[in-house]
Amino acid sequence: MLDNALSALVSFFLIDPLQAGISDRLAAAGVPPAIAANVASCARTATPVIVDRATGDIWWTTSTAFALWTGSTTPDAVLVAAAPVCAPAVDAARPFLAGRPA
């Protein structure tokens, strides 16, 4: 039961803002739909990995959630740090996120 409660808190304070932030950044940057869908899919797939890390390292969870909420880090940077397997998908979007479409 405690695991479910902790997972719900992680989802509310970290996963949901992370996924919303990624979607918002991709849309604002005009990332092509295929690339955006790839990044979003990777973020959804990485959710269990992120939850495992968050429940195992409360300091990482707290500092990451705070950094996301204050804007001192970007959602895509958190995604890559938490789930390096998503790096290729995020790298494909980076030129658009930086304002330089490929």
Q: What is the reported pLDDT for 97?
A: 87
Q: What is the reported pLDDT for 87?
A: 97
In order of 2, 74, 100, 102, the CA distances from 43 in angstroms are 25, 14, 23, 22
pLDDT in tens, the chain (102 residues): 667 787 788 888 788 888 888 999 999 999 999 999 999 999 999 988 888 888 889 899 889 888 988 989 999 999 999 999 999 999 999 999 887 665
- d(Cα 61, Cα 55) in Å, to the nearest integer? 8
Give the predicted TM-score (pTM) of the model: 0.82
Q: What is the reported pLDDT for 80?
A: 94
How remote is the C-alpha of 76 from its chain's centroid?
5
